[in-house]
Chain A
Amino acid sequence: MENTTIQDLIGIEHSKLNFFQELQQTIVELKASHEKSEAQRREFAAIFDGITDLMMVLSEDMRIISVNHVFMEIFPEGDPRGKYCYELFTGNNVPCPKCPAFQSLRYDKVSKETAIFRIGNRNMHFEMVSSPLKSPHLKEHQVVIFKRNVTMEKEYQAKFYQAEKMATMGVLAAGVAHEINNPLTAVSGFAEGIRRRIPKLEGHMDEKLIDDFKEYTDTILKECQRCQAIVQTLLTFSRPTKAAFQPVDINSVVEDTVRILQHHFKKRPGLTVVLQLQRGLPHIIGDEAQLKQVALNLLTNAVDAIEDNGTVTVTTDHAPETQGVRLMVQDTGCGIPEDKLNKLFEPFFTTKPVGKGIGIGLATCYSIVQEHEGDISITSALGEGTCFTVTLPQTQVGVHA
């Protein structure tokens, strides 16, 4: 042997080992108990493998101690153990402020929270449940976190909310239209009657008075028509059933939407709304009611972003490099922080204060635009404003207006 030395031969620190029988006995016992714990381990592993939620055991400082197979499917690369949870989920080097694990550790109770994480190239919505693992033989406390991927559920939930909202609005609009149309018909009918009878008054009355009557009746009729148009527009916003795609003029979509919001704008004296609609744009094939919802959402968001004074500019034009059209809604409001930009279109994600919105508007916009095979992009600068650009392709050869 190469590296044996005289010291090895003398072997001061090596003695004849004894207790052979006892050791054999111990080995038998250890084997039995090892088999038992191995069986237990397999049982636990089977249970854990049956859990379809992502599962992690974390240390007090959010280091990953162990994970289950679902975790490995979502983060296939490398061994996660020893890494910090937040560096994998958010890419940050600080823990997330609303982490339920802290709640669990602090108050020693089960804690729940939902959050959106961008993993790979897609946003995932997780419902998280964390429960403390306190055990007398653990050096430090640990916490077990289950994360259920609820991205799909949230999308459907948002669609459902929106549909319900629009349906409610539809019922209201239909009711209003019905109730208002009847008196309006009477008013406009009688006004027509008066206008038809005015010639009979000629020669019996003062000319000036007759001219006044003419002007009044004309005004009454014009206003009646305007009312009817408003009611009609209201009805187009909320088709309870999905209409077939038809040629749509993007400019009339914008105009109708602005008409509905006119009252809303008037309450904001510091707000200026500028329309820059390019005429002669090709019609695109789409669902008018749904596109109006998009415009409505973008406009209300733009108005909400402006605190006191500011301008909302709505622009339509030819989409560059395609046959389609573009709709741009630009505000001079507060802007959106960069870290929130990629979550804007997630259902139930909102930057608005509580009571101002539940975060389904842009999610709805996104899914509508996707159905039209278009896309939405955002540019935003904090404190300067935000611009949403919707590009809609001409899926079929449009008809020029």
Chain B
Amino acid sequence: MLVTKFAIPEIIFGKGSTKHLAQCARRLGARRVLLVSDAGLERAGWVSMIKGLLEEDLLDCVYFNNVDSNPRDHQVHEGAALYRESRADVIVGLGGGSPIDAAKGIATIVGNGGQIRDYEGANKIMRPLPPMIFIPSTAGSGSDMSQYSIITDVDRQVKMSIISRSLVPNLSIIDPTMLTTKTPELIIASAADALAHAVESYVSKAASPFTEHQALLAIRLILDNITEAAETRSLHALEQLSIASTAAGMSFSNAGLGIVHSLAHSIGARYDVLHGLVHPILLPVVMRFNLPATEKKMACIGKEVLGPRICSEHCLGEKGIDALHELFVRLGVTTRLRDILPTDSDIEAICRMAERDTCTITNPRQASWKDLIRICEEAW
């Protein structure tokens, strides 16, 4: 086993845990908070709730909401300028992956200057970032746990992965009640994202006992609760999905991901589709591609999906993948690439870009862009 490392933020978990935000921010030296969020969270009322919490504690709050799904480089620069102008101190990120990744990008520029593209890749951040508190609202992205920030470089049409331990927030406040306002589609897409994190990081080349444990826990919790959460939005099921997403985040932040995410980044950079929609389509196909390289672990996943079976590891792995695919079909999500992409003419370019993505490094089976094209064709 490689010498490994397991780093996670401080975590406050539980229903209503958001009420601790103001005092936590104060502890980190806050007097004027930069709150980063987006329009969806405003509509759901969460932004005003958080603002209220801060005001109640007599903390100033500067609000930045120019964040798209798949945040853009220029939005990050804009947010950093606002932080400087308003002389903010602590950054609070509220939302799904997009506002949180944007908040990380803003913090990077504030602490280190320059352009966000300067920090693409691993360990390019050399100076500390302002204190960060994240409040995830989707139970999917895991960005509130991870050392990754994914920002779209508009000029190059690339989703840049910025990887640094400094991107791990000081604190993540996970409040499952946040999920109660989500649509079933979003619940499923987020859970699929979390499931992809769990599966990919579980079979990753950099996986360690500490991450594997979290990944399996996440897989189990998602399988057990996704249907109930989508159908009834019971707080219990949502809470379980929160735990799953957090566990999956711990896992992939330390173990890395695989080619599902390479392709998802590449597709997202070109077509701006919702990240969570790509996973149910690609995950089973990629698992089949990876199966020969990691049969033992695939069998463990199969066991989580199907319960104990008496058959070979290979067979158990395959059956587990099939069952996953059926689960996605049952949930009524898109399972063909053709339904989310307008044309197949860009497949080669997408795959060539995905081959260079950081996530490809930790994929258990070596994948060239030609392999990726075959995967896309199979998923078409």
Contact = CB atoms under 8 A, between A and B. Distances in A.
Contacts of A6: 2, 205-206, 256, 361-362
Interface string A1-31: 1101111111110111111110100000000
B120 A1 contact: yes
B121 A11 contact: no
B125 A17 contact: yes
Contact of B122 (A4, A18, A23): A4
Contacts of B206: 6, 9-10
A357 B332 CA distance: 114
Interface residues of B, number: 34
Contacts of A17: 125-129, 165-166
A221 B29 CA distance: 121
B362 A12 contact: no
A16 B168 contact: yes
A346 B131 CA distance: 74
Given A4-B121, A4-B122, A9-B206, A21 B361 contact: no
A19 to B, nearest CB: 6
A1 B122 contact: yes
Interface in B236-290: 254, 256
A11 B5 contact: yes
A18 B128 CA distance: 5
A102 B254 CA distance: 64
Given A9-B122, A21-B89, A16 B256 contact: no
Given A17-B129, A21-B89, A9 B163 contact: yes
A21 B3 CA distance: 32
Interface in B200-237: 205-206
Nearest to A12: B5
B130 interface: yes
B48 interface: no
Contacts of B120: 1
Given A6-B256, A20-B131, A23-B128, A11 B123 contact: yes
Grouping DSSP codes into helix (H, G, I), strand (E, B) and loop, the B interface class, with mixed when no group exceeds half, is loop
A23 B361 contact: no
Nearest to A21: B29
B86 interface: no
A17 B127 CA distance: 7
Contact of B358 (A7, A9, A23): A9
Nearest to A22: B128
Nearest to A5: B361
A278 B111 CA distance: 93
Contacts of A12: 3, 5
Contacts of A23: 111, 127-128
B17 interface: no
Given A5-B361, A9-B206, A11-B5, A19 B122 contact: no
Contacts of A2: 356
Contacts of A10: 2-5, 206, 254
A8 B358 CA distance: 10
Contact of B165 (A1, A15, A20): A15
Nearest to B160: A1
A8 B123 contact: yes
Scoring A6, A18, A19, A21 by chain B CB atoms within 10 A of each residue's CB, the highest score goes to A6
B5 A1 contact: no
A6 B362 CA distance: 7
A252 B89 CA distance: 100
Given A14-B164, A15-B165, A21-B89, A9 B127 contact: no
A138 B57 CA distance: 55
Contacts of B131: 20
Interface in B106-161: 111, 120-123, 125-131, 147, 161
A18 B132 CA distance: 11
A2 B361 CA distance: 10
B44 interface: no
Contacts of A20: 111, 128-131
B25 to A, nearest CB: 13
Contacts of A16: 7, 165-166, 168
Given A8-B123, A11-B5, 16 more contacts: A2-B356, A4-B122, A4-B358, A8-B121, A9-B122, A9-B206, A9-B362, A10-B206, A11-B122, A11-B163, A16-B7, A16-B166, A16-B168, A17-B127, A20-B128, A21-B89
Interface of B: 2-5, 7, 29, 89, 111, 120-123, 125-131, 147, 161, 163-166, 168, 205-206, 254, 256, 356, 358, 361-362
26 contacts: A1-B358, A4-B121, A4-B163, A6-B205, A6-B362, A8-B163, A9-B206, A9-B358, A9-B362, A10-B3, A10-B5, A11-B123, A11-B147, A11-B163, A11-B164, A12-B3, A12-B5, A15-B165, A16-B166, A17-B126, A17-B129, A20-B111, A21-B29, A21-B89, A23-B111, A23-B128
Lowest 3 CB-CB distances: which A-B pairs, in order?
Answer: A8-B122, A17-B128, A1-B121
